[in-house]
Amino acid sequence: MKKLLGHTPDSLKEIAAACGLPAFAGKQIAQWLYQKKVRDIGGMTNLSKAGREALAAEYEVGITPPSDCRQSSDGTRKYLFPVVCQVGNKEERFNVEAVMIPEEDRRTLCISSQAGCRMGCRFCATGHLGFHGNLSAADILSQIIAVDESDDLTNIVFMGMGEPLDNYDNVRRVIEVLTAPWGFGWSPKRITLSTIGVIPKLERFLAETRCHLAVSLHNPFPDERRDIMPVQKAFDIRDVIDLLHRYDFSGQRRVSFEYTMFSGLNDDKRHADALVRLLRGLECRVNLIRFHRIPGFEGAPPSEGVMTVFRDRVAASGIPCTIRASRGEDIDAACGMLAGKKQLP
């Protein structure tokens, strides 16, 4: 069954016409999908009964409810979603996860864009899964609509399973739905995309959206970064920085750098100073993240004291630098821990 989620009013107009509905029904369907968040075509009550029946014969809304939800002691909630991905000529069933992080005045949803990931970062549980397929725009939007907190969400971050720029066309469609007046009508300032630095797609993202950007850096030395992030072979972090220098981040759009810290690997003064040199002249901030242990990687997190010294040394250069609070670690929902562990029946 084909899904309506992810379509624009123009494509919905074509779908409506094929089902014998008037052209203006495309806009009506978009309202039902993105503003009223209807779960079933039968609920689109301003469409004719015959039109709804014709539409339902070939399409479904496309919202998949979560198959599991776990809550952390800190209030973080992790949702598990079953998906079916097209891999070559066959379909593969998989699990992806979305994480809702509550704060006093915010509800941030961290969403997945792929089943698994092909980037192979050694410290990331998702990377250890390998690649199992891209999520469709409907699969990604479904995470946003199906969580219990959907109506209260204040921010979306593409920081879940997968590399968003490796599935850019579908991610771009989701951003369009989120920000368009006919869609959710959100400001792009409420959306952040995280990437390891897929340069060709990064150029498109920077040109085509006004959303915030977070770059996974993790080590300022190219050879050391390559040891933990194979993508460094294809897309040098220095080239990523050079690209970012061509854009203005002094206004409402922000770029930040995610820096996961490993004891004895990237947490000393040498690394802090190299990080400052690498980012010099770029309007940005650095978020330090304590490494969360995962099976298959021998790294360990540094002490709080070591992280504080690193933070202060970077901040003293004039680059804002903070230590990000860890959320949801007790339910494997923290950075780098998403692995879709619950098996499908």
Active-site amino acid positions: 97, 335
Q: Residue 324 in 3-state DSSP?
A: coil
Q: Identify the CA nearest to 75 among candidates 101, 99, 104.
A: 101
User: Could you give the CA distance from residue 210 to residue 192 in angstroms, rounded to a whole number?
Assistant: 10
Cα-flanking dihedrals φ and ψ of residue 119, to 5°?
A: -80, -25
Return the amino acid letter for 230. P
Q: Assess contact for 44 and 52: CB atoms under 8 A.
A: yes
Return the amino acid letter for 29. I
Helix (H) or strand (E) holding 108: strand 107-110
Residues comprising the chain, all counted: 345
User: Could you give the CA distance from residue 263 to residue 299 in angstroms, rounded to a whole number?
Assistant: 7
Q: How many CB atoms lie within 10 A of CB 93?
A: 14
Parallel/antiparallel/unpaired status of strands 68-71 and 107-110: unpaired
